[in-house]
Amino acid sequence: MTKKYFITGGAGFIGSNFAADLLRKNREVTIFDNLSRSGSRHNIAWLRSQFGADSFRLIQGDVRDADALEKAVGNADVVAHFAAQVAVTTSVTNPREDFEINAAGTFNLLEAVRKSGRQPVVLYTSTNKVYGGMENVRVIEREEDYVYEDFPTGIAESQPLDFHSPYGCSKGTGDQYMRDYSRIYDIPTVVFRQSAIYGPRQFGMEDQGWVSWFIIAVLLKKPITIYGNGKQVRDLLFIDDLVRAYHAAIDAPETTAGQIFNIGGGPNNVISVWKEFGPILEELCGEKIPVNYSNWRPGDQVIYVSDIRKAERLLNWRPEVSVKEGITRLYHWAEENRNLFA
């Protein structure tokens, strides 16, 4: 029997890539999205052009609407909850909306699943921002980047939670609700605390999706501002590798139910956001890129690298796309589709 997938935020960057992979596998897909994000309508049009106008069901809805979710979830076998307010800066300027979408929206989804009387696998995309600034973690500053003094394999799931922004609070609330609904209601939820994800179909903006944003800004000759010193470090995970991890988690609910995974490129796929990323981008575009520098923003982490050993062990998964290869693939996709960003 064909599995039925229900994807909130399915028109976004991650959602559309996941939906495309499912459609290639002839799965039954329902996308629930309010189409408010930049690029969402382009992504829906792309899915239809690739797989056919009737290849999936689109419900234009909002996760803040509990009744709409209850009607839409139906008899799904898998629920992927990607719909979110995704920018720390936006959460600071409008914390109520951030809470209503990320915390209350996630609660609405879980209640819709509980009331359905079914027990679909529920996949939730959380964030490394639930760990806050990690001020107590010792860091060594080097010429081009930062490294952890005591965590050579990165930050593990045992790191204490410290919600250091409204965004961290709202995503962390959803994160913990997911875990508890597995314990209390026996719903097989799985939480991915994701690091920096990047790849095609990502319509990055200055406050979210920085890898994509820098590439788009260069192609469109827009100014780039680096907040901080440009040496801050992130582990990068290419979208294809993330989708593989989703399948591994969904296909093994007996192992993953109630579990939390830190998911990113891990220590083998790290880069500083400009000191190392900038030269790669200059090589790709063939010119020197001028940038401006500004103050650090609330909730910015000097370094974040995921310890992915739990995912490697339980999911039999590890990243396959290197940072250089992934950035090159994203650059060429953006270059070929620059009309989408104008």
| Distance from C-alpha of 22 to C-alpha of 123, rounded to nearest angstrom | 15
CA atoms lying within 13 Å on the CB side of residue 90: 15
Q: Which of 124, 131, 167, 304 is catalytic?
A: 167
Rg (CA), the chain: 19
Quick check: is 198 catalytic? no
Tell me whether residue 75 is exposed, middle or buried, using C-beta atoms within 10 angstroms of its C-beta: 0 to 12, 13 to 18, 19 or more: exposed
Per-residue tokens: 21: 């992979």
CA angle 57, 63, 66 (to 5 degrees): 100
Q: What residues have CB less than 8 Å from 299, skipping those under 6 apart?
A: 88, 92, 129, 132, 133, 164, 165, 167, 168
Q: φ, ψ for residue 191 (rounded to 5)?
A: -110, 130
- Which residues participate in catalysis according to the annotation? 167
